């Protein structure tokens, strides 16, 4: 089974770079199985990645964990693992910090690629609105990186 963990964000926009840090931490770890690790600045890059030939050696990616910062100032630093249905509910849908949300990019890719589309889960990290252009994370986002990394490792291990 080919797995992928994809972080989406802007590493030079403060806490919006939290997903890039999670990918960096995963690259530093010895993981229990092979995993494609990618960092994207724009969710539109999911279009190609979620296609059937994106994985190494042409093996289709079967399971994907999308790591993304979501605007939720009341709960900064909270990390949630969500399936697509829970992520899309109108009453609790976090607001993306990107022009096109990860969910919208996934819906477009699913429509194009159809059958064989990978199983998806979202690892949402709550942040306040990005207000600075620097790579430094707030304390709450830095703590969330560690929690999100551990959750991603558990996801990779199938737990």
Beta strand 35-40 with 61-71 is unpaired
The predicted-structure confidence for 120-135, as pLDDT tens digits, reads as follows 888 999 999 877 788 8
Note the pLDDT of residue 83: 81
The predicted-structure confidence for 57-115, as pLDDT tens digits, reads as follows 566 678 889 999 988 999 999 999 988 665 454 444 444 545 556 666 666 566 555 66
User: What percent of the chain has pLDDT above 90?
Assistant: 48
Residue 19 domain boundaries:
2-156
Note the pLDDT of residue 44: 74
- CATH of residue 152: 3.40.50.1450
Domain count, the chain: 1
66 neighbors 123 (Cβ within 8 angstroms):
yes
Q: How would you class 64 by CB atoms within 10 Å of its CB: exposed for 0-12, middle for 13-18, buried for 19 or more?
A: buried
Note the pLDDT of residue 91: 43
pLDDT band at 18 (very low <50, low <70, confident <90, very high): very high
């Amino acid at each position: 089974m080919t797995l992928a963990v994809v972080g989406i964000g802007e590493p030079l926009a403060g806490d919006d770079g939290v997903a890039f840090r999670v990918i960096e931490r995963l690259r530093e770890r010895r993981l229990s199985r092979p995993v494609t690790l990618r960092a994207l600045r724009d969710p539109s890059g999911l279009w190609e990645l979620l296609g059937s030939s994106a994985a190494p050696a042409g093996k289709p990616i079967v399971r994907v964990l999308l790591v993304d910062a979501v605007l939720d100032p009341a709960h900064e630093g909270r990390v949630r693992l969500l399936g697509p249905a829970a992520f899309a509910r109108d009453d609790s849908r976090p607001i993306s910090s990107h022009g096109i949300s990860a969910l919208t990019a996934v819906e477009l890719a699913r429509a194009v690629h159809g059958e064989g589309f990978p199983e998806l889960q979202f690892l949402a990290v709550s942040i306040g609105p990005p207000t600075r252009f620097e790579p430094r994370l707030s304390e709450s986002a830095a703590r969330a990186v560690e929690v999100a990394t551990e959750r991603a490792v558990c996801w990779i291990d199938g737990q």
